[in-house]
Amino acid sequence: MALCVSAVTASSSFRLLNHVASVESCTRLSSFNCAIRGRNVRGGCVVRCVKSSEVAGGRRSYDEEEFVDMNRGLREEGNSGYEVVNGSVNGGSGAELREGGEDCEREVVGTGEGFEEGEGDGEENDYWERNEVGSSSDTTVIFPQATQKVEEDLLKRIRYQHGREVFEERAYLVGIERKNTGARSAFGISESLEELAQLADTAGLTVVGTTYQKLENPSPRTYVGSGKVSQVATAVKALKVESVIFDDELSPGQLRNLEKAFGGDVRVCDRTALILDIFSQRAATREATLQVDLAQLEYQLPRLTRMWTHLERQAGGLVKGMGEKQIEVDKRILRSQIAQLKKQLDTVRGHRQQYRDRRASVPIPVISLVGYTNAGKSTLLNRLSGAGVLAEDRLFATLDPTTRRVELPNGKECLFTDTVGFIQKLPTQLVAAFRATLEEISDSSLLLHVMDISHPMADQQREAVDNVLADLDVGHIPYLCVWNKFDKAKDPKLLKLEAAKRGDVVCISALTGEGMEEFYEAVESRLKDLMVRVEAVVPYGQGELVNLIHRLGIVELEEYTDRGTLVKAHVPLALSMQLMPLRQQPIA
Ligand SMILES: Nc1nc2c(ncn2[C@@H]2O[C@H](COP(=O)(O)OP(=O)(O)OP(=O)(O)O)[C@@H](O)[C@H]2O)c(=O)[nH]1
Ligand SMILES: [Mg+2]
């Protein structure tokens, strides 16, 4: 039986070979992500790239334009075990790889499409062969020899994590402890690395080691000092590490130098790429997908170097500048993809705006749940509304705002919106891409900041959230702190005392329901504070307006007069605006 490998992940730029499984697992892939991945492919590969927009009904259609040859690794790393026998280097017809040398690496990727477990026969058992499914493509990728042992080793590395199959990839984490942190975020290096490990786990990686260095500032060349780089390189070899992840965003130069230092087999990436990858894996709706794709392209654009320098090397330097030209071409392609994505996002957002406008026409108060990732926002929304929103012990479970109508115990209605969680060092590309989603927060009547009060870094997480909120300019919106996961608190009595002292805090457990009565009371009282007093005469023909006043406001008096129903009530600001033309004229 021939082992067939579908190695292109369902996700983004981060992992090239995380999934040895059937094609069904591959959902989307952008050509550019592939190219970026190719940078670190061990032994090189040919990957056929298809834009996510071309994914239809779970099946990808091929587009010849989208081929990206990933053989650079073979040539550049001097691995002459392969040769390209049929295909051009730069797009066009694809390529055929043949085994030629003795010590070829065996982790080779295919296209993510058209791979399936197939029957091998005789000698061909030694190959991982691509079985094209219903495609007229001329691309034939013959993989190098795979012994039974290699197959077994690979299969052993597939594991189930968070309900899905992942290829166990070994990662090593590197951070910096800045001397004289001063005004810097209060996250210590060990907490920051711990969070990075959690992110890596969420992305499906296995962390095999971490290290950090105390520095005044990161080295502009290699982030950590050269001694540390050698130390990491030794650890990478000893621990058979496949990915080295840095705790801050690396500049394109740092990325390049570190890749050089660790060799082509090791993938270098940073916190931002990791977060982008998680977002990409989790994006479920069209808007979230577009937003993540945009953030990824924005991240990749300045990092578009070295991808094509092999062209020059191949030609013995005769075509100097060819690589650069190609980079320019790629940059242009990327920019036009960015422009296209922005356009598509505008359309999608237009629909969302219509929905918001419709919502605004029914002036129900909107309450937004904001907070650090994993604080329990979705769990709270589920408790309030039985919404069935995905709530998991993973980072960034929620990417799209979900709004649910909730009737409070006093009978008043409001809308609760669950939002994307924040994290320290939130990539700027993501904040920008998700700005529109986050801006919905600015329409709310009340912000509920949900905190995991049992978390050792709760204070620092609060600070990180407050920083993002300040960026979003929502300081004017009334705010209530919800100390969640109270059931896990070490000293509940002390916490209660502290909460009582502060006044703008309620302690709850969204999981067990503890403290929900106080929660409802606090929310009701905030909403009441936000109401304005109106006196209006509603014509008998507009009875639904009187109903609305009852549903949303607190009615003091209702009287039937010859002009209509006279209502004296406290109502939400938005409703008071709607009632403006009906305000009772003072009787002369
Ligand atoms: N013990 C305890 N666990 C909780 C509580 N609230 C939520 N959790 C757990 O915390 C984890 C994260 O909960 P979510 O509701 O997904 O958190 P979130 O804030 O929506 O996270 P993101 O969507 O990633 O931003 C889940 O495993 C929940 O079961 C609580 O009050 N007590
Ligand atoms: Mg959530």
What are the DSSP calls for 32-77, one per residue?
Answer: HHHHHHHTT-TT-EEEE---GGGEETTEEPP-GGGEEEETHHHHHT
Which residue has better confidence, 121 or 400?
A: 400
pLDDT at 180 over 80: no
The rounded distance, in Å, linking the Cα atoms of 113 and 54 is 13
Quote the ligand 2 centre to 425 CA distance (angstroms): 19
**Averaged pLDDT for residues 289-301:** 88
pLDDT at 310 over 50: no
Domain ranges of the chain: 1-167, 169-307, 362-528, 532-582
Say what the pLDDT of residue 173 is. Answer: 95
Quote the ligand 1 centre to 374 CA distance (angstroms): 5
Most confident of 99-108, 315-324, 447-456, 556-565: 447-456
Handedness of CA 431, 432, 435, 436 (dihedral sign): negative
- Which three-class secondary structure string do you get for 222-253? CECCHHHHHHHHHHHHHCCCCEEEECCCCCHH
Q: Considering every ligand atom shown, identify the ligand nearest to the alpha carbon of residue 513 and give its number.
A: 1
Say what the pLDDT of residue 389 is. Answer: 65
Number of residues that make up the chain: 588
The model carries a pTM of 0.67
506-530 exposure pattern, b = at least 16 Cβ within 10 A, e = fewer: bbbbbbeeebbeebbebbbebbeeb
H-type helices in 42-179, by residue range?
72-76, 148-156
pLDDT at 4 over 90: no
Question: Which residues make beta-bridge pairs with 484?
Answer: 452
Contacts of 517 (CB under 8 A, 6+ apart): none
Phi/psi-derived region of residue 372, left when phi > 0, alpha when psi is between -120 and 50, beta in every other case: beta
* Residues framing ligand 1 (Cβ under 6 A): 371, 373-379, 391-393, 395-398, 421, 484-485, 487-488, 509-511
Identify residue 425 by its one-letter amino acid code.
K
The domain defined by 362-528 folds into Rossmann fold (3.40.50)
The CA dihedral of 246, 251, 257, 259, to the nearest 10 degrees, is 50
Quote the ligand 2 centre to 393 CA distance (angstroms): 9
The CA dihedral of 397, 402, 408, 414, to the nearest 10 degrees, is 150
- Which three-class secondary structure string do you get for 461-472? HHHHHHHHHHHH
Say what the pLDDT of residue 469 is. Answer: 85
Closest CA to ligand 1's atom 21: 374
Give me 218's structure tokens. 């990161």
Quote the ligand 1 centre to 376 CA distance (angstroms): 3
Say what the pLDDT of residue 62 is. Answer: 34
Question: pLDDT tens digits for 316-354?
Answer: 544 455 556 677 777 888 898 999 999 998 888 787 777
Count of beta carbons in the 10 Å neighbourhood of residue 110: 24
Quick one: what percent of the chain has pLDDT higher than 90? 25
Give me 404's structure tokens. 């649910």
Contacts of 282 (CB under 8 A, 6+ apart): 288, 396, 397, 399
Say what the pLDDT of residue 182 is. Answer: 54
Least confident of 3-12, 320-329, 432-441: 3-12
Least confident of 271-285, 455-469, 509-523: 271-285
Question: Which residues make beta-bridge pairs with 514?
Answer: none
pLDDT at 252 over 70: yes
**Averaged pLDDT for residues 438-461:** 89
Nearest to 534 by CA among 559, 567, 565: 567
Using alpha carbons, list the distances in angstroms from residue 192 to 212, 246, 415, 460, 529. 11, 11, 35, 11, 39
Task: Please state whether beta strands 55-56 and 59-60 pair in parallel, antiparallel, or not at all (unpaired).
Answer: antiparallel
Using CB atoms within 10 A of its CB, is residue 492 exposed (0-12), middle (13-18) or buried (19+)?
Answer: middle
For the chain, the average pLDDT equals 70
**Averaged pLDDT for residues 565-581:** 86
Q: How confident is the model at residue 412 (pLDDT cuts 50, 70, 90)?
A: confident
The CATH class that applies to domain 169-307 reads alpha beta
Quick one: what percent of the chain has pLDDT higher than 70? 63
Quote the ligand 1 centre to 484 CA distance (angstroms): 9
What DSSP element (H or E) covers 443? Answer: none
Identify residue 554 by its one-letter amino acid code.
I
- Please give the order of strands across the beta sheet that includes 402-407: 402-407, 413-418, 366-371, 446-452, 479-484, 505-507
Count of beta carbons in the 10 Å neighbourhood of residue 333: 15
Say what the pLDDT of residue 474 is. Answer: 83
Q: How confident is the model at residue 467 (pLDDT cuts 50, 70, 90)?
A: confident
| Ligand 1 atom at minimum distance from 509 CA | 31
Decide: helix, strand or coil at residue 563: coil
Closest CA to ligand 1's atom 2: 485
Least confident of 373-387, 395-409, 413-427: 395-409
Which residue has better confidence, 73 or 540?
A: 540
**Given the structure tokens 């936000």, which residue do they identify?**
530
Which residue has better confidence, 29 or 333?
A: 333
Using alpha carbons, list the distances in angstroms from residue 135 to 48, 114, 316. 13, 8, 36
Say what the pLDDT of residue 481 is. Answer: 95
Closest CA to ligand 1's atom 11: 393
Contacts of 190 (CB under 8 A, 6+ apart): none
pLDDT at 123 over 70: no
Question: pLDDT tens digits for 94-108?
Answer: 333 333 333 332 222
| 362-528 has the same fold as 169-307 | yes
Mutate to test the pocket of ligand 1, among 378, 495, 514 (most ligand atoms within 8 A of CB): 378
Least confident of 38-42, 270-274, 346-350: 38-42
Count of beta carbons in the 10 Å neighbourhood of residue 183: 6
> How large is the ipTM?
0.99
The rounded distance, in Å, linking the Cα atoms of 498 and 102 is 68
Mutate to test the pocket of ligand 1, among 511, 512, 514, 519 (most ligand atoms within 8 A of CB): 511
Which residue has better confidence, 325 or 19?
A: 325
Say what the pLDDT of residue 149 is. Answer: 53
